[in-house]
Amino acid sequence: MVVTKEPQDFVYERTLELHGNEPAKVLVRLGVAREDSVNPGLWLCPFQIVGIGDGDVHLVSGVDGIDALFTALGTIAVHLRAAQRRHNLTWCGMADVGFPIIFGPRSDRDFLQRTDAAEDDDGS
């Protein structure tokens, strides 16, 4: 992930409520993934969080457009989860701001319940 000063086209936005002494808004902005013109085969997806933190525009990368998009969404989720430790953020009145953690260290054990011992290649 890198911070960029280059203008970005943001096409998706979500407004969060920031509750404190004076209610405020936090804007989460997300752009469309695009192929990196400098590094062929790498894709970039921009995002920005305005209203908490530094408001920098971040570019996250992936091996294709979907990977870059998922990485951006997951990185936004991590930033917001960290911010929620310091700020009372809501979305449509809910504490769940709608950005789930969708990547990170995990294994099949997190998703699949093992039913029996490993089988041989022939299925026995």
Three-state DSSP state, 101: coil
Question: Residue 37: its pLDDT value, please?
Answer: 92
Q: Would you say residue 90 has pLDDT above 70?
A: yes
**CB-based burial, 43-71: b 16+ in 10 Å, e otherwise:** bbbbbbbbbbeeeebbbbbbeeeebbbbb
CB atoms inside a 10 Å sphere around CB 32: 15
Question: Residue 103: its pLDDT value, please?
Answer: 62
**CB-based burial, 7-26: b 16+ in 10 Å, e otherwise:** ebebeeebebbbeeeeeeeb
Mean pLDDT of 76-102: 91
**Residue 69 amino acid letter:** L
pLDDT digits (tens, 9 = 90+) for 33-81: 999 999 999 999 999 999 998 899 999 999 999 999 999 999 999 999 9
Q: Would you say residue 8 has pLDDT above 60?
A: yes
Q: 13: pLDDT confidence band, cut at 50, 70 and 90?
A: very high
Mean pLDDT of 12-35: 93
Closest by alpha carbon to 43, among 66, 69, 70, 61? 61
Question: Residue 65: its pLDDT value, please?
Answer: 95
